[in-house]
Structure 1
Amino acid sequence: MTKTILITGAGSGIGKDSAFALAARGHRVLATTQTQAQAEALAQESQNKGIHLEVFKLDITLESDRKLIEPFAIDVLVNNAGMGESGSLAEVDMQRVRKIFEVNLFCTLELTQLALSGMIQREKGTVLLVSSIAGRVPMPFLMPYSMSKFALSAAGAGLRAEMDQLKKNIHIALIEPGAIHTGFNQAMTDSKYKWMGPSSYFAHQAQKMQKQERATFKFLEAKNTDGIVKQIIKACEATRPKLRYTSPWIQGFGVRMARIFGV
C-alpha cells in the first residue's frame, strides 16, 4: 500500500538513499534537508534520476521549519536527521554535548510530537527513530554521540509502550545503523581534533588515536547503505513494525554479545 513518508536529513547518506529507494517502490516521499542548498541539489538529483521526491528544507532545530509538516497526512515519519560529536567526557565542552542532545534528542522528539498529533487523530501511523548501534554499547571518545543515541533509543522504547497503551494503531520503531561508509563516522571522530589542543589530556596520543580510528572504520564499515536501507523499507511497510531494525547484522550481533558478557 502506498504511504506518505517524510524523511528528515535526506540531503545525504542513509536519508537520501532511503528516500530514493522508497520512492522507487511507489511511496510518496517528502524528502527534507537541513539547508536550502541541499534541498536544491536533491531536487536536481531527483529530476536527473527520474524518481519523484517532494523536496523541501526542514531544519529540525527551527520551530518554524518543524511546523511545515503540519499540512501533510504523514503515514511514516523517519527521524533520520542528526549530528555527530566526539571527545573525552573528561574534557569536552558541555556546550557541545548540549548541542548534540538538542539535535539528536530534543528537536527530534518535538518533530515527533507534531507528527503524532495528526497520526493519533487519524488513528494510524508509524514513527521511526534512527538511533545507532553506538546507542547500545558505551564507546570511548564517542560518548557525546553515544549518550544522545542511548537516550533516543530509550525514548523510542518508552514511546512505543505508551502508543501501545493508547491503542490508536500508532507504531514506534528504532533503526540502528552500525558502521557504514558514508563519511559520517570519519567526520564525527575527527571533530574532537578541532578543539583538542596541547593542553588536552590525550594530546600525546592524538596521532595514534586518529590512525587507529581510521583503521577500525576501514575494517568495520559496510561499503554501502543497502543493508540499512532495506531495514528502513521493512519498517516503513510493516503492518506492525518490530522494536529494532539493525544493519549490518554482524555488528548488531556483536553488540548483543558484548552486552551479555558485560563488555
Structure 2
Amino acid sequence: MKKNVLISGAGTGLGRAASIALARNGHRVFATTFDEMQAEELKHFAASNALELESFKLDVTSEQDREQIRDIEIDVLINNAGIGYSGSIAEVDVELVRENFEVNVFAGIELTQLALKGMIARRRGSVIFISSIVGRMSVPFLGPYCMTKHAIEAAAEALRAEMDVLGANIQVALIEPGPYYTGFNQQIMGNKFSWMSQESYFYDQLDSLKAQDEDTLKELETTDLGTIVEKIVAAAEAKRPDLRYFAPEWLLRIVKDHEAEK
C-alpha cells in the first residue's frame, strides 16, 4: 500500500538513500534536510528520476521548522536526523552532551509527538527511530553519542508498548545500523579527540588511540548501504514491524559477545 513517508536528516548518507529507495518502491516521500541546498539537490534528483519525492528544509531543533509537518498526513515518520559528539565521560564538556541530546533525542521526540496527533486521530501510522549498534553497546570516547542512542532505544521501546495499550494501530520500530560508510563516521572520527588537551587524563595515549580507531574503522566499515536500507523499507512497509532491525548480519556476533561479557 502506498504510504506518505516523512524522514528527517535526508540530505546525505543513510537518510538520503532510504528516501530514494522508499520513493522507488512507490511511496510518497517527504525527504527533509538540514539546509536548503540539500533540499534543492534532492528535488532535482527526484525530478530527473520521476520520483514522487518532495524535499524541504527541516532543522529538527527548530520549533518553527517542525511545525511544517503539522498539516502533512504522515503514515510513516522516520527519525533519522542526528549529530555525533565525542569525549571522555570523565572530562567532556557537559554542554556538548546536552547539545547531542537536544538534536538526537529531544527534537526527535517533539517531532514524533506532532506526527502522532494525526496518526492517532486516523488510527494508523508508524514511527521509526534510526538508532545505531552503539545503542546497544557503548564505545570508549564516543560516550555522548552512545548515550543518545541508548536513550532512543529506551524511548522507542516505551512508546511501542504505550501505543499497544492505546490500541490505535500505531507501530514503533528501531533501526540499528552498523558501521556503514556514509561520511558520518569520518566526521565523528575526524573530531573524536579534538576535545583532548595536554591536561587530559588520556593525552599520553592519543597516538595509539587514533591508530586503533583507524584500524577498526578500516576493518569493519562497509560501503554497501543496501543491506540496511532494505531493513528501513521493510519496517516502513510492515503491518506489524519488529521492534529492532539491524545490519549487517555479522554484527549479531559482536553484540552477543559484548552482552556475554557484561
TM-score range, shorter chain: over 0.9
Deviates more, 1:226-235 or 1:249-258: 249-258
**SS class of match (1:171):** strand
Number of paired residues?
Answer: 262
Cα deviations by residue, 1:171-213 (Å, 9 ceiling, x for unpaired): 1000111111112112112323323222222222222212211
Report deviation, 1:240. Answer: 0.6
One-letter identity of the residue aligned with 1:81: A
In 2, are the aligned partners of 1:177 and 1:247 still within 8 Å (CA)? yes
Distance of aligned partners of 1:56 and 1:113 in 2 relative to their CA distance in 1, 3 Å threshold: same
> Partner residue of 1:110?
110
Report deviation, 1:135. Answer: 0.7
In 2, are the aligned partners of 1:182 and 1:224 still within 8 Å (CA)? no
**SS class of match (2:261):** coil
Report deviation, 1:221. Answer: 1.1
For residues 84-103 of structure 1, the aligned pairs below 5 Å read: 84-103=84-103
**SS class of match (1:95):** helix
Deviates more, 1:47-56 or 1:138-147: 47-56
Q: Distance in 2 between matches of 1:129 and 1:33?
A: 16
Q: Distance in 2 between matches of 1:257 and 1:116?
A: 37
One-letter identity of the residue aligned with 1:178: G
Report deviation, 1:252. Answer: 3.1
Deviates more, 1:183-192 or 1:90-99: 183-192
> Partner residue of 2:35?
35
Q: Distance in 2 between matches of 1:211 and 1:40?
A: 38
Cα deviations by residue, 1:239-260 (Å, 9 ceiling, x for unpaired): 011100101111133213321x
**SS class of match (1:22):** helix
Q: Distance in 1 between matches of 2:14 and 2:228?
A: 8
In 1, are the aligned partners of 2:181 and 2:221 still within 8 Å (CA)? yes
Counting aligned pairs with the same residue, the percent is: 50
Give yes or no for the alignment of 1:211 onto 2:206.
Answer: no
In 1, are the aligned partners of 2:27 and 2:52 still within 8 Å (CA)? no
In 2, are the aligned partners of 1:175 and 1:232 still within 8 Å (CA)? yes
Q: Distance in 1 between matches of 2:175 and 2:251?
A: 14
Q: Distance in 2 between matches of 1:255 and 1:58?
A: 34
Q: Which runs of 4+ in 1 moved over 4 A?
A: none
Cα deviations by residue, 1:47-103 (Å, 9 ceiling, x for unpaired): 333433100000000001111001111000000001111111111100000000111
In 2, are the aligned partners of 1:186 and 1:214 still within 8 Å (CA)? no
Q: Distance in 1 between matches of 2:12 and 2:177?
A: 15
Q: Distance in 2 between matches of 1:52 and 1:219?
A: 37
Q: Distance in 1 between matches of 2:186 and 2:198?
A: 22
Q: Distance in 2 between matches of 1:226 and 1:256?
A: 24
> Partner residue of 2:255?
255
- Listed as ranges, the gaps of 5+ residues in structure 1 are none
> Partner residue of 1:122?
122
Q: What TM-score does the superposition give when structure 2 sets the normalisation length? A: 0.97
For residues 23-62 of structure 1, the aligned pairs below 5 Å read: 23-62=23-62
Q: Distance in 1 between matches of 2:35 and 2:137?
A: 32
> Partner residue of 1:162?
162
Q: Distance in 2 between matches of 1:229 and 1:138?
A: 23
> Partner residue of 1:140?
140
> Partner residue of 1:227?
227
For residues 234-245 of structure 1, the aligned pairs below 5 Å read: 234-245=234-245
Q: Distance in 2 between matches of 1:252 and 1:189?
A: 23
**SS class of match (2:250):** helix
One-letter identity of the residue aligned with 2:13: G
Q: Distance in 2 between matches of 1:67 and 1:256?
A: 41
In 2, are the aligned partners of 1:11 and 1:34 still within 8 Å (CA)? yes
Q: Distance in 2 between matches of 1:181 and 1:92?
A: 26
